[in-house]
């Protein structure tokens, strides 16, 4: 009886391991590629992997090429420009479990603390000097000034950040192991999401007025109203 029980436990653990591992990232493709047909349904999610694929006879080499990373995106008032690359902008990535981003930072500009709930990211500095790092679940920070040619990995779900510490605009190329990694920027999540002000006052030791100013800054709706 004990042998049968141990066998059953091992089998259940093996199944759980396989299922958990499978759910930990985008599902493996069941075909070489899938360039999706355009769907106009309002209920369609742009990152869905269940879209109907174009027939291979309709495809050309251009379907697998993206040229949008050659130049920087539009710079924000804070000096950050990003060009996200996912199946919406580059359909050739559909079902392949990948996405990319180009980030350009003017001198002194930052990419604020944020995280990707569904992806690990690697960041490669192609121009400039960038202070880059992440914080683990024990609240330990791993950070350094990265030079051209260096690469850093940000484990999935951990807060990470970048700051241009050089004299020229810095450029970073990032790769993520999900076609829909998601992003949550900490300042916007905390002060721009509608969390109760009293809770924020107690959590950060700031005055109600200071919390209100931060909410105006990071909540687009409030910014437009004021």
Summarised one tens digit per residue, pLDDT across range 173-217 is 999 999 999 999 999 999 999 999 999 999 999 999 999 999 988
195 and 117 fall within a common domain: no
Residue 123 domain flag: yes
The CATH number of whichever domain residue 79 belongs to comes to: 2.60.120.10
**Do the beta carbons of residue 142 and residue 153 sit within 8 Å?**
no
Q: What are phi and psi of 65, to 5 degrees?
A: -125, 135
Annotated binding-site residues for Mn(2+) read 114, 116, 121, 160
Average pLDDT over residues 127-150: 98
pLDDT value at position 18? 46
Annotated binding-site residues for oxalate read 111, 116, 121
Residue 58 domain flag: no
pLDDT value at position 219? 78
**Do the beta carbons of residue 89 and residue 179 sit within 8 Å?**
no
pLDDT, greater one: 19 or 63: 63
Q: Can you give the residue range of the structural domain that contains 205?
A: 188-217
| pTM to 2 decimal places | 0.79
Annotated binding-site residues read 111, 114, 116, 121, 160
pLDDT band at 221 (very low <50, low <70, confident <90, very high): low
129 and 204 fall within a common domain: no
Q: In whole angstroms, what is the distance from residue 112 CA to residue 133 CA? A: 11
pLDDT value at position 26? 81
Give the chain's domain count.
2
Using DSSP's 3-state secondary structure scheme, residue 85 falls into strand
């Amino acid at each position: 009886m004990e042998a049968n029980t141990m066998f059953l436990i091992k089998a259940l653990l093996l199944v759980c391991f396989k299922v958990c591992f499978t759910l930990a990232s985008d599902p493996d493709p069941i075909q070489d590629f899938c360039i999706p047909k355009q769907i106009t349904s309002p209920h369609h999610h742009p990152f869905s992997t269940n879209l109907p694929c174009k027939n291979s006879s309709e495809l050309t080499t251009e379907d697998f090429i993206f040229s949008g990373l050659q130049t920087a995106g539009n710079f924000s008032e804070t000096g950050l420009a990003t060009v996200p690359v996912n199946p919406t902008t580059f359909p050739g990535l559909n079902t392949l479990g990948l996405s990319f981003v180009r980030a350009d930072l003017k001198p002194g500009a930052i990419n604020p603390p944020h995280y990707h709930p569904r992806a690990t990211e690697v960041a490669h500095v192609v121009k400039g000097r960038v202070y880059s790092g992440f914080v683990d679940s024990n609240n330990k920070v791993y950070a350094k000034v990265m030079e051209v040619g260096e690469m850093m990995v940000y484990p999935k779900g951990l807060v990470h950040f970048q700051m241009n510490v050089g004299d020229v605009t810095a450029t970073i190329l990032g790769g993520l192991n999900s076609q829909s990694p998601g992003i949550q920027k900490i300042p916007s999540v905390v002060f721009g999401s509608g969390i109760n002000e009293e809770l924020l006052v107690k959590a950060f030791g700031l005055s109600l007025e200071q919390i209100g100013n931060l909410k105006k800054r990071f909540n687009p709706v409030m910014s437009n109203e004021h």
